[in-house]
Amino acid sequence: MLRKPVVAGQFYPQTEASLKKMLSKLIDTGSDKHEIIGIVMPHAGYIYSGGVAGLTISKVNIKKTAVILGTNHTGSGEPFSIMTKGRWLTPLGEAKIDVEIARAILKESSLLKEDSLAHLYEHSIEVEVPFLQYVKNDIKIVPICISNNDLKIYRQLGKEIAEGFKKIGRSALFIASTDFTHYESKQAAEEKDRLAIDAILNLDEERLFRVVEENNISMCGVAPTCTLISVCKNLGAKKAGLVKYQTSGDISGDYASVVGYAGLVIE
């Protein structure tokens, strides 16, 4: 199937020319690149979170394939959903699904189900694709949508994804798509988000899961982020780093009700 964009013209520009112009200001293609296993990127409107996402992508040596772990905001489809064939359309063109890697992951997983319904109107994966296409126009993707569950499930899913991927013997970049605290004051958001970021920096998915619950952190992508940490550790990750953190208030000037955005790398 051809998965058509649902937030073009809302979260990011609708035409190829205007999208390329915007991305050229957000991404530094000449910056030093690093060999990265996984990254955490925000998925809000580019005007607010694009600076964080662009700077994060700028640090990474992009592989031929990106496995993108998104959250399920809509509640549609399977709770753990993967697409193993088809194409995703953006104003920059079509990104084909990496059939080989996707099928290997699905075959290894007892949790993932072949499903496109969860992806049809979900923006968390879509908004990451143009960043990847701008840097590598023939990028292939593996879209995986993850609903909220418990830590044991995230760890199991992460292990299954890693084991399926390793059987192919190729390289890929793994991405968790998430925003952090939603609609609290800038001070409250920064305090809460620091707790979550510290857990990610320590590659501690248990701590991340716990601090989000205990502090009522409205981090919409805790599921894909916990899963990403599990994937990366199963692939040999040893450390993580924070690229940039900011809030929507840093752009809008409204500090009373902000959303937090962070870009992190895992290597």
Q: In 3-state terms, what secondary structure has residue 88?
A: strand
* Confidence class for position 266, pLDDT limits 50, 70, 90: very high
Closest among 105, 116, 107, 41 to 72, alpha carbons compared: 116
Q: Which two tokens stand for residue 259?
A: 């959303």
Q: In 3-state terms, what secondary structure has residue 221?
A: coil
Q: What is the CATH number of the domain that holds 15?
A: 3.40.830.10
- pLDDT tens across 237-258, in order? 999 999 999 999 999 999 999 9
215 DSSP 8-state letter: T
The predicted model scores a pTM of 0.98
- pLDDT tens across 13-47, in order? 999 999 999 999 999 989 999 999 999 999 999 99
Number of folded domains that form the chain: 1
Q: From CA 103, how far away is CA 84, in angstroms rounded?
A: 6
CB-facing half-sphere around the CA of 24: CA atoms within 13 A: 7
* Confidence class for position 4, pLDDT limits 50, 70, 90: very high
User: Which pLDDT value is given to residue 183?
Assistant: 98
- pLDDT tens across 180-205, in order? 999 999 999 999 999 999 999 999 99
Mean pLDDT of 68-78: 96
